[in-house]
Amino acid sequence: MRHYFFLFFLLVLFNYDTNASPRYSDPDGCLSCHAYEGLNFIDENGVFRSATIDNEHYASSLHGSVPCKDCHREVIDYPHKVENTEVDCGASCHIEEPSEGVKYSHDVIHEEMDKSVHADGWYKGLTGGNRLEELETEQDPSCRRCHSNTAYIAETQLENFKEAFDHAETECGNCHQGKAWMGQFGGHILRRFIGRRWNNIENNQLCIQCHGDITAMREVEQEDKETLEKHPPSERFVQSSASYKKTLHGRLVDANSNFGASCIDCHAPEGWKHEIRAFSDEKSASHPDNLAESCGQSNCHAYTKKSGNQGFTMTDMHGLSLLGLTDIEKPLENKELWQSNWFLSVWPLMVFALVFAVASLRWWIFYRTDKKVTAVFGGDRFERIMVGRKPKKSRAKAKAKSAVKKEKVIAPVVEPEKTGDSDSVTPNQSDKPET
Amino acid sequence: MNYRFFITVLLLLLNNGVFAEGLYTQQLSNTLLTTEQIEDSKKKLAEHKELVLHEELKIASFHRRGQLKASLEHSSCTGCHLSPPHTKSERTRTFMNMHTQFIACETCHFRPKDKQLSYQWEDTRDGLVIKGKTKLFRQVTSADENSKTRATALHNFYKITPFYQKESVVLRKEGAFNQETQQIGEKGTQEEKVHRRALIHAPLEEKGPECSACHDEKNDFLDLASLGASTYQQDKIYNNMIAQFFARYKDKDSRIRIMSILQ
């Protein structure tokens, strides 16, 4: 009986694996052509183009489960008509969102983008051939300007993944293709387990690739919300990336510290992180009225939420004065440093340094072998606050006081015998405790 | 110092010996251009529009592409033509360019009717003949083999090249004729340019052979077995689905439904 049960179990397993569809199915046969290496050409605009799709990378990518025609919907013939290959990132595809089983769509992100300063960026009509047109005509970023079809497990997270799962492969579909659970939930769980796909350096890079290009930023046209008049951007806007880099936020991120705040952390902390509004917009996370909340998020600067502490939030994170700060590699050779306010502000500190130096020298010459702590000044305060005991004088006073107290407690009040003998003494006089 | 100079001269002499004059160069020396050829060349040069190549676009391709290996840097044709060279035909340009990874330009475009050419693998860097081997083909050797790994490992400077009387036909990039052509291109008069263009193209066919020339067992344009293809590889090349798909085109403007590729 047990043998039959085992055989039945094996058959069920075998059937399950053979019937399940692989993660990277290609039902339309697109990869029959597009998987060939070297399908390159130079188009009429002089752009080097490639029709090759790295099929292995595609299988391990975020869209590895999505058949080509879910995005390139109208492709029915060859040569493909360009308009038939257009992609709409807001459209829903045949993939189901794992927890609720609804058709997956990026439309919620598009809705956020629509409220942001980048609202005019293309999100549909995207083709490989109109990237140049977008670069030449559009100032707002399209979806593809920041996002590409990256591997499901980002290269930066690959080592973490291999270590955590003891896996060498990154193509989940190679082993897990027969398991529906893996197809539906595996990737989702992996991403949550491994943690954030992007670190703050990568996060910032998305913004800096445009905002770091000062020439391009100078050409940006901004619109006055009330008058709808176009005007050139302020120098503060043009230099925003460079000034941020000088702040503690930027420096910590550059040093790969978790305490650094990325662009998104301040400009779009909520939702899908795409609702970046102008700081003058009342709904903006960077609007002065909302800074206490924005700066206090995730306990970054939680005290800003308390009344009276809001002044801290007025620290200018993109002030042009920050640009004067140089990256100091050889400070003594840097003339700007010698003339900077930073350097001048060091002088008062030098007085304290001098006092410290003299006191240390004095101690080293006269008292270094002495076990006594000798304070030039402030010794009492040091003992009270740093050492956590009363200063010497106070200790001596307290001792004397307690001695007097004890004396009073121990010594009983004895009436002297009225013997008339003048030499008689009180009985306890000789037993008086030593103090 | 003199010793080094002597060796350099010796190597140069030896190099000239290795690159003996091929059939293409011989034909160029013997060609007498017709008025029709000159007029055609004049027209093509007048119609030619210089294409300014863009650097890599700041908006990257959404999908990761294959490796973009340089393929024709050792060909004399890319002195004037783009690399990849096929740009006009929307239908065939990508596939033609794909073939430039392993087939020399002259293989398709130098096909003299009165001469019997043979085809061998050649290292286009130094013109040395490479013995035909299975591993020189992009085609996998079994169903289990990973085609991408195979293609990635191959070098694009090994190409199937036409030979005549054991001599490579190709026009050498470093040869005297090509050097002269480059100079005419840079400093020559319009008349010289027209003449040189007509001369270079006189022995050539504008259109390459049909796909079926290589992808059909009945035709013998290339002897795949002598080039080193295994039986499995030959079978796959002869029965290539895309070549069969292309064979269904009746005219140059027709579009074919993709579903028919699976039929």
pLDDT tens figures, B129-185: 999 999 999 999 998 888 878 887 888 899 999 999 999 999 999 999 999 999 999
| Most confident region among A263-277, A314-328, A367-381 by mean pLDDT | A263-277
Q: Sorting pLDDT into bands at 50, 70 and 90, what band is A215?
A: very high
Average pLDDT, stretch B229-235? Answer: 96
Assess whether pLDDT exceeds 60 at residue B73: yes
Least confident of A30-34, A180-184, A316-320: A180-184
Residue A36 with chain B: CB contacts under 8 Å: 95, 98
Contact list in B for residue A77 (CB cut-off 8 A) is 255-258
Residue A315 shares a structural domain with residue A366: no
Pairs of residues, one from chain A and one from chain B, whose beta carbons lie less than 8 Å apart:
135
A41 and B242 in contact by Cβ < 8 A?
Answer: no
In a domain, B262, yes or no: no
In a domain, A396, yes or no: yes
Same domain? A35 vs A128:
yes
Q: Which positions in chain B touch A130 (Cβ < 8 Å)? A: none
pLDDT of residue B201: 97
Examine the fold and report which residue of A150, A178, A196 is the final residue of a domain before the chain moves on.
A150
Residue A429 above 80 pLDDT? Answer: no
pLDDT of residue A133: 96
- Check residue A433 and give its pLDDT: 43
Domain that residue B111 falls in? 69-207
The pLDDT of residue A95 is 73
Q: Looking at the complex, does the CB of residue A207 fall below 8 Å from at least one CB of chain B? A: no
> What region, left, alpha or beta, does residue A195 occupy, with left being phi > 0 and alpha being psi -120 to 50 degrees?
left
Q: Is the pLDDT of residue B91 over 80?
A: yes
Testing the interface with B: which of A36, A37, A48, A132 to mutate, by most B Cβ within 10 A? A37
Task: Please give, one letter per residue, the 3-state secondary structure of B32-96.
Answer: CCCHHHHHHHHHHHHHCCCCCCCCCCCCCCCCCCCCCCCCCCCEHHHHCCCCCCCCCCCCCHHHH
Among A103-117, B88-102, B146-160, the range scoring the smallest mean pLDDT is B146-160
Distance from CA of A357 to the nearest CA of B (A): 56
Who wins on pLDDT, B124 or B15? Answer: B124
Q: Judge whether A215 lies within some domain.
A: no
Helix (H) or strand (E) holding A92: strand A92-96
Kindly state whether residue A391 falls inside one of the protein's structural domains. yes
Mean pLDDT over each residue of chain A, to the nearest integer: 80
Confirm whether B251 is domain-assigned.
Answer: no
| CB contact (8 A) between residue A38 and residue B71 | yes
Q: Does some domain include residue B50? A: no
Return the higher-pLDDT residue of A30 and B262. Answer: A30
The answer to whether residue A101 scores a pLDDT higher than 80 is no
**Size (chain B), residues:** 263
Q: What is the mean pLDDT of residues B27-40?
A: 94
At B163 the pLDDT is 97
Token look-up 């007509």 returns B198
Q: How many CA atoms lie within 13 A of A304 on its CB side?
A: 20
Q: Burial of A64 by CB count in 10 Å (0-12 exposed, 13-18 middle, 19+ buried)?
A: buried
Q: Is residue B109 part of a domain?
A: yes
pLDDT at A338: 76
- Give residue B233's identity as a one-letter amino acid code: Q
Q: The tokens of A246 are what? A: 């000088």
Q: Which domain holds residue A253?
A: 223-324
Tell me the per-residue pLDDT of A291-315, one tens digit each, with 9 for 90 and over: 999 998 877 898 888 888 888 888 8
Question: Does residue A77 share a domain with residue A133?
Answer: yes
Q: How many distinct structural domains can be found in chain A?
A: 3
Query: In the structure encoding, which two tokens stand for residue A201, read together?
Result: 């350096």
Does residue A228 lie in a domain region? yes
Q: Return the higher-pLDDT residue of B159 and A409.
A: B159
**pLDDT higher than 50, residue A348:** yes
- Asked if residue B11 belongs to a domain, the reply is no
Question: Which residues in chain B (110-169) have CB-CB distances under 8 A to chain A?
Answer: 138, 147-148, 151-152
Which is more confident, B43 or A313? B43
List beta partners, residue A2: none
pLDDT of residue A171: 62
pLDDT exceeds 90 at position B191? yes
Looking at per-residue confidence, does A340 or B194 come out higher? B194
pLDDT band for position A129 (50/70/90)? very high
The answer for B 51-70 residues in CB contact with A (under 8 A) is 51-54, 56-69
Bond prior to B85 in cis (omega within 30° of 0): no
Q: Give yes or no for a contact between A342 and A333, defined as CB atoms under 8 angstroms apart.
A: no
What is the pLDDT averaged over residues A183-197? 58
Same-domain status, A352 and A250: no
Whether residue B258 is predicted with pLDDT greater than 60 in this model: the reply is yes
CA separation, residue B184 to residues B2, B25, B77, B200, B244 (Å): 35, 17, 15, 13, 43
**Cβ-defined contact of A36 to B60 (cutoff 8 Å):** no
Percent of chain B at pLDDT exceeding 90 = 70
pLDDT at A194: 59
Strands A92-96 and A103-105: antiparallel
Residue to mutate among A41, A206, A208, with most B CBs inside 10 A, is A41
> Does some domain include residue B101?
yes
For residue A255, the SS3 value is coil
Query: What local confidence, expressed as pLDDT, does residue A431 receive?
Result: 45
Pairing of β A48-50 and β B256-257: unpaired
Nearest beta carbon to residue B64 from set A47, A54, A87: A54
Let me know if A429 is exposed, middle or buried by CB neighbors in 10 A (0-12, 13-18, 19+): exposed
Decide if A140 is inside a domain: yes
- CB contact under 8 Å between A39 and B241, yes or no, is no
Query: What pLDDT is stored for residue A191 in this prediction?
Result: 60
Q: DSSP H helical segments within A42-120, as ranges? A: 55-59, 68-71, 107-114
| Cis previous bond, B84, omega within 30 | yes
- Residue B3 has what pLDDT? 66
Identify whether residues A231 and A290 lie together within a single domain: yes
Report the pLDDT averaged over residues A117-139. 95
Is B103 within a domain?
A: yes
The residue among B55, B61, B236 with the most chain A CBs within 10 A of its CB, best to mutate, is B61
Predicted confidence at residue A373, as pLDDT, reads 64
Say how far apart CA A204 and CA A263 lie, in whole Å.
Answer: 6
Alpha-carbon distance A58 to A329, whole Å?
Answer: 43
Torsion of CA B140, B141, B144, B150, to 10 degrees: -40
Most confident segment among A99-108, A115-124, B238-247: A115-124
Cβ–Cβ < 8 Å for A241, A212: yes
Say whether A58 and B63 touch across the interface (CB within 8 A).
Answer: yes
The verdict on A365 and A287 lying in the same domain is no
- Residue at B86 is within a domain: yes
- Window A:124-143, CB contacts with B under 8 Å: 126, 128, 131-132, 134-135, 142
Number of compact structural domains in chain B: 1
A192 occurs within a structural domain: no
Residue pLDDT, tens place only, A156-172 = 777 777 777 777 766 66
pLDDT band per the 50, 70, 90 thresholds, residue B78:
very high
* Contact yes or no for A37 and B62 at CB 8 A: no
Residue B181: its pLDDT value, please?
96
Asked if A77 is an interface residue toward chain B (Cβ–Cβ < 8 A), one would say yes
- Domain shared by A317 and A351, yes or no: no
- Give burial (CB, 10 Å; 0-12/13-18/19+) of A118: buried
Instruction: Specify the higher pLDDT residue, A361 or A338.
Output: A361
Name the B residues in 238-257 with CB < 8 Å from any A CB: 241-242, 245, 255-257
The confidence band for B74, taking pLDDT boundaries of 50, 70 and 90, is very high
Whole-number pLDDT of residue A428: 45
Q: Is residue A335 part of a domain?
A: no
In angstroms, what separates the C-alpha of A133 from chain B's closest C-alpha? 11
Check residue A86 and give its pLDDT.
96
Give the pLDDT of residue A326.
63
